[in-house]
Amino acid sequence: MPQFLTTTQADFEMAFTALLGMKREDSPEVDADVAAIIAYVRARGDQAVIDLTARFDRLQLSPETLAFSPDEMAAEVAKVGAEDRAALELAAERIRAYHLRQMPMAEESWTGPHGETLGWRWTPVSAAGLYVPGGTASYPSSVLMNAIPAKVAGVERLVIACPTPDGALNPLVLLAAHLAGVDTVYRIGGAQAIAALAYGTDTIEPVDKITGPGNAWVAAAKRRVFGKVGIDMIAGPSEILVIADGQTDPDWVALDLLSQAEHDVSAQAILITPDEGFARAVGAAVERRLETLDRREIASASWAEFGAIIVTRDLAEAAALSNRIAPEHLELCVADPDALSARITHAGAIFLGHWTPEAIGDYVGGPNHVLPTARSARFSSGLSVMDFLKRTTLAKMTPAALAAIGPAAERLAQSESLGAHGLSVRARLDRLNG
């Protein structure tokens, strides 16, 4: 059974703090293994990748078969039925439209008080690699969510690394790659794929940025190559927080909670409501739905171990608790979701009103479903075009501007004992004065 708390109970603060601090994921200690894998790939390149793929994925590759050929891609894509294809196309179109709105002005510049020009320019990352997990966690929707922002940003070369254990893969993943404009899909995974993307091999050109979710090995490898390449974030298990005023069908809210719980035994689903009767009704609805859910074993384990129902005095208190949780997904199943939304300071994504189940956001809403987990919405954002852009700042002084602000720069350089800094300004000032 999940925890059932009320904010009026004497030990609520203690219980809530414990809920906040709950460690949901025991990452295995893979760092030493990952370091060895990265070193092996850097030393032996293709051969290391092929060797490790044979060992971990039971798949014998050659440099020629590391990537799917265009013919292989086409053959796999042809396996996808019309209805799945239409659904994926609708998702791609809506995700593209949303992310196009995120594009900043390519360049901004203005003139400062002394005639100097200041500004900045945005440019895309040249090459990006998307990691796509294999097996049951191989989601075509994640391919769209990672690849489309990259293409919208203007990334020229976009590749995917997706392991195919025993050669198996989901053709929808390849269709999603195709729809999103991915150039190459490599049949490789794990830390070896991350190392190959970061450092390159004879066959695999290195990229500048790596995004996408993965297991503990992938996460540890991304942490290690960070700096050599950019990475998006270290993803943790998924979470949902539903704030409800009690005027929604309890069954809807139960399904929304379960749609996160079914992801992973480490996922977390929390309901906060001021209506205790509704809270109990949702709890009962979850139990009923669990009986018939396909993924009931996973969802039950997640709900029992990490689920929680919290009864508050009012919705304002619910919003305050939500801000302490900083949830990845926040559903506001209330009569006036906009008013409540205005009170939310930390959340990855907000789903407003009774007609916006979180699952809409996973697929076709438009916003990205790669979102900050494990309370990291306190300091980070979901994936966006910004992850595939970088800004170059611009400054152009005139002689008058240098005359006006140069002496202050010279002074500060001296105070920091950086002589050449000061002299580089002084030499120019002397010319102006001479």
Please give the annotated binding residues for Zn(2+), written as ranges. Answer: 260, 263, 362, 421
**Which tokens go with 389?**
């852009």
Residues 31-90 that bind its own copies (CB under 8 A): 83-84, 86-88, 90
Q: Taking contact as CB under 8 A, which single stretch among the options 44-52, 63-71, 109-117, 157-165 is the one that binds its own copies?
A: 109-117
Give yes or no for residue 359 binding its own copies (CB under 8 A). Answer: yes
Q: Which stretch binds its own copies (CB under 8 A): 39-47, 49-57, 184-192, 286-294?
A: 286-294
Nearer residue to its own copies within complex by CB, 67 or 347:
347
Would you call 1 exposed, middle or buried from its count of C-beta atoms within 10 A (0-12, 13-18, 19+)? exposed
Q: For its own copies, which is the closer residue by CB, 71 or 83?
A: 83
- Is residue 257 a contact partner of residue 238, using CB atoms and an 8 Å limit? no
Q: Name which of 25, 58, 56 is nearest 41 in CA terms.
A: 56
Q: Which of 166, 183, 202, 249 binds its own copies (CB under 8 A)?
A: 249
The residue (of 52 and 254) whose beta carbon lies closer to its own copies is 254
User: Which pair of tokens denotes residue 99?
Assistant: 């992310």
For its own copies, which is the closer residue by CB, 54 or 106? Answer: 106
Task: Return the residues of window 310-339 that contact its own copies according to CB under 8 A.
Answer: 337-338
Looking at beta carbons only, is 50 or 241 nearer to its own copies? 241
**Residues paired with 210 in a beta bridge:** 129, 231
Residue 135: left (phi > 0), alpha (psi -120 to 50), or beta?
Answer: left
Binds its own copies by CB under 8 A, chosen from 66, 239, 363, 385: 363
- Closer to its own copies by CB, 53 or 266: give it: 266
Least Å distance, CB 104 to its own copies, is 8
Rule CB under 8 A: is residue 103 a binding residue for its own copies? no
Tokens of 360: 């809409």
Helices (H), 164-265: 171-180, 190-199, 216-225, 250-261
Under rule CB under 8 A, which residues in 186-245 are in contact with its own copies?
Answer: 208-209, 223, 226-227, 229-230, 233-234, 236
376-389 burial, b for 16+ CB within 10 Å, e for fewer?
Answer: bbeeebbbbbebbb
Radius of gyration of the chain (CA): 26
Site for its own copies in 164-183 (CB under 8 A): 172
Out of 271, 279, 350, 385, which residue is the one contacting its own copies (CB under 8 A)?
350
Q: Which span sits near its own copies by CB under 8 A: 6-14, 51-59, 180-188, 415-423?
A: 415-423
Judged by CB under 8 A, the chain residues 381 through 400 that form the site for its own copies are 381-382, 384, 386, 390-399
Q: Is there a contact between 187 and 59 (Cβ–Cβ < 8 Å)? A: yes
The span from the CA of 42 to the CA of 363, in Å, is 37
Site for its own copies in 114-133 (CB under 8 A): 116-118, 120, 123, 125-126
Of 218, 234, 301, 286, which Cα lies nearest the Cα of 256? 286
Half-sphere exposure (Cβ direction) of 370: Cα atoms closer than 13 Å: 29
Q: Of residues 139, 186, 217, 306, which one binds its own copies by CB under 8 A?
A: 139
Tally Cβ neighbours within 10 Å of residue 310: 26
Contacts of 423 (CB under 8 A, 6+ apart): none
- Per-residue buried b or exposed e for 21-37, using 16+ beta carbons within 10 Å of the residue's own CB: eeebeeeeebeebbeeb
Q: Which is nearer to its own copies, 98 or 186 (CB)?
A: 98
Closest CA to 132 of 63, 68, 48: 68
The binding site consists of 131, 192, 215, 238, 260, 263, 329, 362, 416, 421
Nearest-angstrom CA–CA distance, 303 and 291: 13
Catalytic residue among 99, 178, 329, 354, which?
A: 329
Of these, 61, 162, 204, 347, which contacts its own copies (CB under 8 A)? 347
Helices 31-44 and 216-225: crossing angle, nearest 10°?
60
CB of 174 to its own copies, least distance (A): 13
Please state the residue numbers annotated as binding site for NAD(+): 131, 192, 215
Answer yes or no: 329 catalytic.
yes
CB of 322 to its own copies, least distance (A): 11
Q: Are strands 117-124 and 389-396 parallel, antiparallel or unpaired?
A: antiparallel
Residue of 251, 275, 276, 317 that binds its own copies (CB under 8 A): 251
Annotated binding-site residues for substrate read 238, 260, 263, 329, 362, 416, 421
Give the catalytic positions in this structure: 328-329
